[in-house]
Amino acid sequence: MAQTVTVPAVRAHKRADDPLVMITAYDAPGARIVDDAGVDIILVGDTLAMVVLGHEDTLQVTVDDMAHHVAAVARARPRALVVGDMPWLSYHVSVADTVTNAAALIRAGAAAVKLEGGRKRVDMIRSIIDAEIPVMGHIGLTPQSIHALGGFKVQGKELDAATALVDDALALVDAGCFSIVLECVPDEVARMVTEAVPVPTIGIGAGPWCDGQVLVFHDLLGLQDRIRPKFVRRYAELGASATEAVAAYAADVRARRFPADDESYHLAGEVADALGRGGRTQASA
Ligand code: KIV
């Protein structure tokens, strides 16, 4: 059996020839699909709120929601590293709550947690790491701050904002993060950050210079259409195929083409005869 991907292995994957591959998953079948495809990291992201639970933003999920889905992913026993996303307000109030909430995701089956924010979050990150829980950082567009940011907008476009991102990344490294997600920043800024830090950067809408890339499962597979940022490359149109398949099923049911004889169970001949339901040539249990 292939070896499980570990936090130190990811941490060591800096400026490697083969970029890290991360993707989200939220349940056991999804985890099996992405693990069989050979990804390095499975992120049980708080995008759960939008792509699975139907909310407008990521602010609606709780630690219990996240733990429930981390557990489902972990039950698939993936080879990839499982990272659990800490939801909004689970690491903002007190150190004790922060560590307890991170631990809930680890107990559910994650090997590390991810949380959003730069210098502001350093104290909480240190306390989680002190509890032996590895932390992945996340800066740039931080969707849990959409109200403060004024929407899903590219970050780091101005000189000050670009240098602030480098400072945030360095603060995350100093606090002990083993990798950093860079979301929706100009590719030049992502390159600056990537060159400035000794841990892998994992980009989403951050151009090609990062040490790895991440996409949301439902975006990559064409399973959702509500938001379609330009950085999403769709490798399949499974939503359209699924609708087509269900429509074919509905048409077959309505036309009595489904189920067919070989999709039905039958009585043994003598039982059918005794019940006055005989006449079949082939009986099976
Ligand atoms: O929650 C999530 O899916 C994420 C990725 C978009 C990086 O944070």
Dump pLDDT digits (tens) for 64-97.
999 999 999 999 999 999 999 999 999 999 999 9
Name which residue sits closest to atom 2 of ligand 1, judged by CA: 45
Distance (Å) from CA 45 to ligand 1 centroid: 5
CA quadruple 47, 104, 91, 220: dihedral, nearest 10: -20
Atom from ligand 1 closest to the CA of residue 143: 8
Q: What would the mean pLDDT of 138-164 be, rounded to a whole number?
A: 96
Q: Cα angle at 238 between 68 and 77, to 5 degrees?
A: 35
**For ligand 1, which residues put their CB under 6 angstroms from it?**
24, 43, 45-47, 85, 181, 183, 204, 214, 216
The DSSP symbol for 235 reads S
Is domain 7-240 given the CATH code 1.10.3720.10 in the classification?
A: no
Q: What would the mean pLDDT of 21-39 be, rounded to a whole number?
A: 98
pLDDT confidence of residue 278 = 79
Say if residues 116 and 169 touch (Cβ distance below 8 Å): no
**Model pLDDT for residues 194-225, shown as the tens digit of each residue:** 999 999 999 999 999 999 999 999 999 999 88
Residue 235, number of CB atoms within 10 A of its CB: 11
Distance (Å) from CA 162 to ligand 1 centroid: 21
Name which residue sits closest to atom 5 of ligand 1, judged by CA: 45
Distance (Å) from CA 5 to ligand 1 centroid: 19
From 27, 51, 58, the mutation candidate for ligand 1 (largest count of ligand atoms within 8 A of CB) is 58
Q: How far is Cα of residue 207 from the mean position of the Cα atoms in its chain? A: 19
The candidate with the shortest Cα–Cα distance to 219, out of 26, 32, 74, is 26
Name which residue sits closest to atom 3 of ligand 1, judged by CA: 45
Instruction: Answer with the residue of higher pLDDT: 94 or 1.
Output: 94
Distance (Å) from CA 52 to ligand 1 centroid: 13
Q: What would the mean pLDDT of 237-242 be, rounded to a whole number?
A: 97
Q: What would the mean pLDDT of 6-16 be, rounded to a whole number?
A: 95
Say if residues 79 and 35 touch (Cβ distance below 8 Å): yes
Q: What would the mean pLDDT of 30-53 be, rounded to a whole number?
A: 98
- The contacts of residue 155 (CB under 8 Å, 6+ apart) are 140, 141, 149, 161, 165, 183, 184, 185
